[in-house]
């Protein structure tokens, strides 16, 4: 684990140095000076995004199972969770969790305080909970789109609930939901810029800090360009997964014989 | 002779008309402030902008016999808004810095600022040197944040906030161990927060506060400079100063 962290940290430094060094001869001074800070922020955004999408996805699976469950004890809380997190602005959620809960301080939050003390952790928590609500709805669309006959057939074969989920429902639902899920990841990337309001030095936070020293508006263009690069990388990753998952006869219309 | 008379009459009419319009149309000045920087500029319970900056703005406008409107504008966008002609002047406790002078022009200073570190009483922090390894807050886009980043950035965890109030709230909650701030708003905050105190000495960063105007707007800049000198000389400034601080901040 520590090896992985060390390799990643070295990779970050090498990537930042390498790219900034390579861009230096062809960039204006403004960008050259700010470049390491931009890449610091770039990686913070990337880390928050990857962690919150993975954790958010796991929570979303649990939430959607509860949401489509026939038990009201499961479906009503899941419904409420989705309603609250989709129905309030992410900025409000961030501020409630950071400034609101944070104002209780070490006495009020006890053992949770080290977690809530750091803007980065609160940002990760909020992004995760927020995206989980959206992804749960996306997955629900995938699940409820399946022909009911398949589930009846699986039941008739004697499959248990978990077997049906693992073998029949989820593999298909995830394929149906994937393009919409990719959309949500991109939206999450852009929404993550809001964590800069709770002291996180993500790409937006760094961009604003660099701007506050130079008052040169082109700083925001560089920031935007880096978001575009990130969006490009994400789109590529999502496409690769999609290509791997695709079963030709499942998603494409059969060619005439 | 007749021609001459007509000319005289015409000149007189034009002169009268232009004099008349000068009286009918006083100078219109749109002023921006932040509204989140007590006691210099903040909103009262009714949502009105109040504070030292607003009082100075009103005194200057009265002196120039100008019609002024004061609007609130977020700090990050306050200079771009001036450049984009959304308003004509910024009276928002803005430090005169070379970076800002690239984009805007400044009047003569209307007060001087120092930085100061604040921390909880009994925190064991005795001065800026004790801040290594601590988390230190400051408002982004201020000289305080630049000083913190330049002087503490390597040794301490510097956290930047969008507003001064957000930084106070995290200092209060114990999320940050200390805060670097302009001295006067910190002085004001400490009046109502017993558990906190100033640490060490004034940090003199040769920081002068001026009114920002568009770079090419010399007319307004000179008018403001003139009015500033007048209110300094006639005691209006001292009266406003005394309303907020028991010491001279000029």
Q: pLDDT tens across B1-59, in order?
A: 455 555 555 555 555 555 444 455 788 999 999 998 889 999 999 999 999 999 999 99
Whether A112 has its CB under 8 Å from any CB of chain B: the answer is: no
Question: Which residues in chain A have Cβ-Cβ distances shorter than 8 Å to B158?
Answer: none
Question: Which residues in chain B have Cβ-Cβ distances shorter than 8 Å to A117?
Answer: 174-175
Label the pairing between strands B28-33 and B89-95: parallel
Residue A30: predicted pLDDT: 86
What is the pLDDT averaged over residues A218-232? 95
Do B161 and A199 count as a contact with CB atoms less than 8 A apart? Answer: yes
Q: Which residues pair with B36 in a beta bridge?
A: B42
Cβ(B192)–Cβ(B98) under 8 Å? Answer: no
Whether A6 has its CB under 8 Å from any CB of chain B: the answer is: no
Whether B5 has its CB under 8 Å from any CB of chain A: the answer is: no
Please report the DSSP string for B127-176 in residue order.
SGGGGTTSEEEEETTSHHHHHHHHHHTTTSEEEEESSHHHHHHHHHHTSS
Do B170 and A211 count as a contact with CB atoms less than 8 A apart? Answer: no
Do A99 and B166 count as a contact with CB atoms less than 8 A apart? Answer: yes
Q: Which residues pair with B112 in a beta bridge?
A: B208
Per-residue tokens: A234: 């994400």
Taking the C-alpha atoms of residue A166 and residue A101, their distance in angstroms, rounded to an integer, is 38
What range does the domain containing A178 cover? 40-245
The answer to the question of residue A130 being in a domain is: yes
The answer to the question of residue A21 being in a domain is: no
Per-residue tokens: B199: 């640490």
Q: What percentage of chain B exceeds 70 in pLDDT? A: 90
Q: pLDDT tens string for chain B (250 positions)?
A: 455 555 555 555 555 555 444 455 788 999 999 998 889 999 999 999 999 999 999 999 999 999 999 999 998 899 999 999 999 999 999 999 888 999 999 999 999 999 999 999 988 888 888 899 999 999 998 889 999 999 998 899 999 999 889 999 999 999 999 999 999 889 989 999 999 999 988 888 888 999 999 999 999 999 999 999 999 999 999 999 999 998 889 8
Question: Which residues in chain A have Cβ-Cβ distances shorter than 8 Å to B145?
Answer: 209, 212
Do B172 and A205 count as a contact with CB atoms less than 8 A apart? Answer: no
Q: How far is CA B64 from the centre of its chain?
A: 19
The answer to the question of residue A3 being in a domain is: no
Q: What percentage of chain A exceeds 70 in pLDDT? A: 96
Contacts of A180 (CB under 8 A, 6+ apart): A138, A141
Question: Which residues in chain A have Cβ-Cβ distances shorter than 8 Å to B105?
Answer: none
Taking the C-alpha atoms of residue B230 and residue A181, their distance in angstroms, rounded to an integer, is 65
Cβ(A94)–Cβ(A197) under 8 Å? Answer: yes
Whether A99 has its CB under 8 Å from any CB of chain B: the answer is: yes
Cβ(B199)–Cβ(B161) under 8 Å? Answer: no
Query: Helices A218-245 & A203-214, crossing angle to 10 degrees?
Result: 170
Closest Cα partner for B199 from B148, B134, B137, B127?
A: B127
Beta strands in chain B (DSSP E): 28-33, 36-37, 41-43, 49-50, 67-72, 89-95, 104-106, 111-120, 135-139, 157-161, 178-182, 196-214
Residue A1: predicted pLDDT: 67
- Map tokens 């489509």 to a residue: A68
B61 HSE (CA, 13 A, CB side):
20
Host H or E run for residue A130: helix A119-144
Residue B22: predicted pLDDT: 46
Label the pairing between strands B157-161 and B49-50: unpaired
Cβ(A204)–Cβ(A41) under 8 Å? Answer: yes
Do B146 and A99 count as a contact with CB atoms less than 8 A apart? Answer: no
Q: How far is CA B85 from CA A12, B32, B181, in A?
A: 42, 11, 30
Mutate which of A215, A220, A221, A223 to test chain B, going by most B C-beta atoms within 10 A?
A: A215
The answer to the question of residue A14 being in a domain is: no
Cis, peptide link before residue B39, omega less than 30° from 0:
yes
3-state secondary structure of B91: strand
Do B100 and A214 count as a contact with CB atoms less than 8 A apart? Answer: no
What is the pLDDT averaged over residues A195-217? 91
**Residue B116 C-alpha, separation from nearest chain A C-alpha, in angstroms:** 20
The answer to the question of residue A29 being in a domain is: no
The closest CB to that of A208, out of B79, B103, B140, belongs to: B140
Cβ(A99)–Cβ(A205) under 8 Å? Answer: no
Residue B90: predicted pLDDT: 97
Do A105 and B103 count as a contact with CB atoms less than 8 A apart? Answer: no
Q: What percentage of chain A exceeds 90 in pLDDT? A: 70
- Rg (chain A; Cα; Å): 22
Instruction: Bin B174: left if φ > 0, else alpha if -120 < ψ < 50, else beta.
Output: left
| pLDDT exceeds cutoff 90 at A198 | yes
- Full set of structural domains in chain B with CATH: 27-112+208-244 (3.40.190.10), 114-206 (3.40.190.10)
Whichever domain contains A184, its CATH number is 1.10.3720.10
Do B99 and A214 count as a contact with CB atoms less than 8 A apart? Answer: yes
The answer to the question of residue A15 being in a domain is: no
Whether B95 has its CB under 8 Å from any CB of chain A: the answer is: no
- Map tokens 């920081």 to a residue: B207
Whether B170 has its CB under 8 Å from any CB of chain A: the answer is: yes
Residue A255: predicted pLDDT: 55
Do B175 and A102 count as a contact with CB atoms less than 8 A apart? Answer: yes
Whether A201 has its CB under 8 Å from any CB of chain B: the answer is: yes
Do B172 and A103 count as a contact with CB atoms less than 8 A apart? Answer: yes
Count of domains observed in chain A: 1
Do A208 and B76 count as a contact with CB atoms less than 8 A apart? Answer: yes
**Residue B195 C-alpha, separation from nearest chain A C-alpha, in angstroms:** 14
Residue B14: predicted pLDDT: 52
| pLDDT exceeds cutoff 70 at A173 | yes
Burial B191-215 (b: 16+ CB within 10 A, else e): eeeeebeebeeebebebebbbbbbe
Taking the C-alpha atoms of residue B36 and residue A78, their distance in angstroms, rounded to an integer, is 39
Whether A104 has its CB under 8 Å from any CB of chain B: the answer is: yes
Residue-wise pLDDT tens digits, A238-254:
999 999 988 776 655 54
The closest CB to that of A117, out of B99, B145, B175, belongs to: B175
Contacts of B116 (CB under 8 A, 6+ apart): B180, B181, B182, B183, B186, B198, B199, B200, B202, B203
Q: Which residues pair with B139 in a beta bridge?
A: B161
CB atoms < 10 A from the CB of A110, how many? 8
């Amino acid at each position: 684990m520590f090896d992985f962290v060390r390799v990643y940290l070295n990779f970050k430094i090498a990537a930042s140095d390498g790219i900034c060094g390579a861009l230096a001869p062809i960039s204006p001074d403004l960008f050259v000076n700010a470049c390491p800070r931009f890449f610091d922020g770039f990686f913070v955004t990337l880390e928050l995004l990857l962690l919150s999408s993975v954790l958010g996805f796991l929570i979303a699976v649990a939430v959607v199972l509860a949401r489509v469950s026939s038990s009201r004890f499961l479906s009503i809380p899941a419904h409420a969770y989705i309603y609250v997190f989709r129905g309030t602005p992410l900025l409000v959620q961030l501020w409630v969790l950071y400034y609101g809960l944070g104002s209780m301080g070490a006495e009020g939050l006890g053992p949770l305080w080290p977690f809530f003390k750091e803007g980065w952790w609160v940002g990760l928590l909020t992004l995760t909970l927020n995206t989980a609500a959206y992804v749960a709805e996306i997955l629900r669309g995938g699940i409820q789109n399946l022909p009911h006959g398949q589930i009846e057939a699986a039941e008739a074969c004697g499959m248990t609930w978990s077997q049906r989920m693992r073998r029949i429902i989820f593999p298909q639902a995830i394929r149906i939901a994937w393009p919409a899920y990719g959309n949500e990841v991109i939206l999450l990337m852009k929404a993550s810029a809001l964590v800069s309001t709770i002291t996180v030095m993500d790409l937006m936070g760094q961009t604003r800090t660099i701007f506050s020293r130079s008052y040169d508006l082109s700083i925001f263009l560089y920031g935007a360009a880096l978001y575009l690069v990130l969006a490009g990388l994400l789109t590529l990753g999502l496409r690769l997964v999609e290509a791997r998952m695709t079963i030709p006869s499942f998603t494409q219309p059969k060619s005439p014989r | 002779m007749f021609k001459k008379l007509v000319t005289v009459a015409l000149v007189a009419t034009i002169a009268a008309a232009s004099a008349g319009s000068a009286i009918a149309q006083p100078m219109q000045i749109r002023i921006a402030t932040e509204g989140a920087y007590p006691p210099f500029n903040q909103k009262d319970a009714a949502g009105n902008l109040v504070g030292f900056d607003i009082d100075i703005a009103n005194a200057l406008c009265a002196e120039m016999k100008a019609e002024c409107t004061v609007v609130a504008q977020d700090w990050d966008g306050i200079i771009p808004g001036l450049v984009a002609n959304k308003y004509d002047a910024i009276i928002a406790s803005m430090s005169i810095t070379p970076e800002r002078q690239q984009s805007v022009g400044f009047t003569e200073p209307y007060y001087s600022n120092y930085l100061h570190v604040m921390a909880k009483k009994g925190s064991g922090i005795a001065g800026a040197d004790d801040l290594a390894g601590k988390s230190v807050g400051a408002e982004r886009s201020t000289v305080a944040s630049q000083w913190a980043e330049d002087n503490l950035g390597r040794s301490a965890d510097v956290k930047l906030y969008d507003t001064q109030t957000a930084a106070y709230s995290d200092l209060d909650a114990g999320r940050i161990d200390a805060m670097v701030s302009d001295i006067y708003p910190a002085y004001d905050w400490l009046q109502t927060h017993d558990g906190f105190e100033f640490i060490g000495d004034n940090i003199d960063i040769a920081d002068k506060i001026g009114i920002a105007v568009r770079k090419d707007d010399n007319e307004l800049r000179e008018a403001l400079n003139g009015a500033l000198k007048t209110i300094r000389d006639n005691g209006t400034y001292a009266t406003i100063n005394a309303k907020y601080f028991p010491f001279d901040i000029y």
